[in-house]
């Protein structure tokens, strides 16, 4: 630890606030003491951290991980390993660049240094640039897990809402590799145009008056029997109603912050429609190392061959966290906003 500083800068979140603006205003820079890693910990010097919808949910007190506040937010990042706990193989880890996904009840990665467990990091391909390493873990693997569901269900087509997201772009790419058609649902005309310009054939605007009828017609015509729903609330009902019999709606977030309601029970009872959930943590726990490695290698190649990249719209220093959050919330479909250190 000789060459390491004794303190580091971080952003702290003091109080969960349902109102996202209030939550943002409550963030403040702090200085923390750098300690030696615990025997099973890696110490990362952070390269960058991404801002994801899960971070916003965390600040609002709506995420599955609740930390005792004040706490450092931040779930996904990249960094270099600068120290290892004594139980870990220093040769394997020291000096390596990693992508990190943290789900523990401890300080997160909006900080210059971060203590990670080996299961939270991925050694990444040297050829990936810094922005891609920072945004590699969460969305691409989730898209992989979702695509596995579509394959298991032998879907000819899938429906994806919040389709302007990074995750949806990976899912589109993976589904296309398996000749699965994708019906994208978005809430802004500008996002629909972006997707069409990048090759999406079927994009629907969820707030147009013709939406329900269009979705129903297309989902039946293309035999879309799986829908991936990041929005929840009324969106889930709309998907369920529009999908053919034997369809499954897989909910993987609730961006609308609304409860499910007015679900067509008859559809569930007599048409065998169902609603399930997906979360990356469980997928990782259930996935064997060979499948995981195949996913990582394939996703890396997809990025390297530029079939799809995690678009990054802006980067801000950690101290400009509020501007970074405002930029991201102002246009999420424009790409990730990352924090640099």
Chain residues that interact with ligand NAP, rule: CB under 6 A: 52-54, 138-139, 142, 162, 164-167, 187-188, 191, 230-231, 252-253, 255-256, 278-280, 331-333
Q: State how far the Cα of 5 lies from the Cα of 33, in Å rounded to an integer.
A: 9
3-state secondary structure the chain: CCCCCCEEEEEEECCCCCCHHHHHHCCEEEEEECCCCCCCCEEEEEEEEECCHHHHHHHCCCCCCCCCCCECCCCEEEEEEEEECCCCCHHHHCCCEEEEECCCCCCCCCECEEEECHHHEEECCCCCCHHHHHCCHHHHHHHHHHHHHHHHCCCCEEEEECCCCHHHHHHHHHHHHCCCEEEEEECCHHHHHHHHHCCCCEEEECCCCCHHHHHHHHHHHCCEEEEEECCCCHHHHHHHHHCCCCCEEEECCCCCCCCCCCCCHHHHHHCCCEEEECCHHHHHHHCCHHHHHHHHHHHHHHHHCCCCCCCEEEEEEHHHHHHHHHHHHHCHHHCEEEEEC
Taking the complex as a whole, how short is the minimal distance between the CB of residue 293 and ligand NAP, in angstroms?
20
Taking the complex as a whole, how short is the minimal distance between the CB of residue 101 and ligand NAP, in angstroms?
9
Taking the complex as a whole, how short is the minimal distance between the CB of residue 142 and ligand NAP, in angstroms?
4
Taking the complex as a whole, how short is the minimal distance between the CB of residue 79 and ligand NAP, in angstroms?
19
Listed in sequence order, the residues at least 6 apart from 59 whose beta carbon sits closer than 8 Å to its beta carbon are 13, 16, 17, 20, 23, 24, 27, 73
Taking the complex as a whole, how short is the minimal distance between the CB of residue 299 and ligand NAP, in angstroms?
13
Q: Tokens in use for 124? A: 């990444």
Taking the complex as a whole, how short is the minimal distance between the CB of residue 75 and ligand NAP, in angstroms?
9
> For residues 81 and 240, which CB has a smaller minimum distance to ligand NAP in the complex?
240
> For residues 83 and 240, which CB has a smaller minimum distance to ligand NAP in the complex?
240
Q: Tokens in use for 221? A: 């015509």
> For residues 130 and 334, which CB has a smaller minimum distance to ligand NAP in the complex?
334
> For residues 54 and 132, which CB has a smaller minimum distance to ligand NAP in the complex?
54
> For residues 60 and 279, which CB has a smaller minimum distance to ligand NAP in the complex?
279
> For residues 6 and 207, which CB has a smaller minimum distance to ligand NAP in the complex?
207
Taking the complex as a whole, how short is the minimal distance between the CB of residue 230 and ligand NAP, in angstroms?
4
> For residues 49 and 88, which CB has a smaller minimum distance to ligand NAP in the complex?
49
Q: State how far the Cα of 166 lies from the Cα of 336, in Å rounded to an integer.
A: 8
> For residues 42 and 160, which CB has a smaller minimum distance to ligand NAP in the complex?
160
Taking the complex as a whole, how short is the minimal distance between the CB of residue 85 and ligand NAP, in angstroms?
28
> For residues 37 and 53, which CB has a smaller minimum distance to ligand NAP in the complex?
53
Taking the complex as a whole, how short is the minimal distance between the CB of residue 120 and ligand NAP, in angstroms?
14
Q: Tokens in use for 101? A: 């996904």
């Amino acid at each position: 630890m000789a060459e390491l500083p004794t303190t580091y800068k971080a952003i702290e979140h003091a109080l969960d606030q349902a109102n996202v603006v209030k939550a943002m205003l409550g963030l403040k820079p702090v200085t923390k003491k750098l300690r030696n890693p615990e025997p099973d910990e890696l110490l990362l010097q952070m390269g960058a951290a991404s801002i994801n919808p899960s971070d916003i949910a965390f600040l609002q007190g709506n995420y599955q991980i609740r930390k005792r506040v004040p706490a450092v937010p931040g779930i996904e990042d990249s960094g270099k390993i600068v120290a290892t706990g004594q139980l870990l193989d220093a040769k394997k880890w020291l000096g390596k660049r990693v992508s990190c996904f943290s789900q523990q009840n401890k300080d997160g990665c909006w900080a210059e240094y971060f203590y990670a467990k080996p299961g939270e990091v991925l050694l990444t391909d040297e050829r990936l640039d810094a922005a891609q390493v920072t945004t590699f873990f969460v969305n691409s693997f989730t898209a992989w897990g979702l695509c596995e569901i579509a394959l298991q269900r032998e879907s000819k087509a899938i429906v994806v809402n919040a389709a302007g997201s990074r995750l949806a772009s990976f899912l589109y790419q993976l589904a296309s590799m398996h000749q699965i058609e994708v019906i994208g649902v978005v809430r802004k005309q500008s996002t629909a145009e972006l997707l069409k310009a990048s090759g999406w054939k079927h994009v629907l605007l969820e707030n147009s008056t013709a939406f329900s009828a269009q979705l129903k017609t297309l989902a039946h015509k293309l035999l879309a029997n799986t829908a991936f729903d990041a929005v929840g609330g009324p969106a889930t009902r709309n998907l369920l109603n529009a999908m053919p019999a034997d369809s499954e709606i897989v909910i993987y977030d609730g961006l609308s912050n609304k409860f499910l309601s007015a679900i067509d029970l008859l559809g569930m009872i007599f048409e065998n429609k169902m609603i399930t959930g997906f979360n990356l943590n469980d997928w990782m726990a259930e996935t064997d190392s060979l499948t995981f490695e195949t996913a990582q290698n394939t996703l890396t190649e997809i990025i390297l061959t530029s079939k799809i990249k995690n678009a990054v719209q802006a980067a801000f220093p950690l101290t400009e966290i509020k501007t970074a959050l405002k930029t991201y919330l102002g246009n999420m479909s424009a790409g990730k906003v990352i924090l640099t250190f």
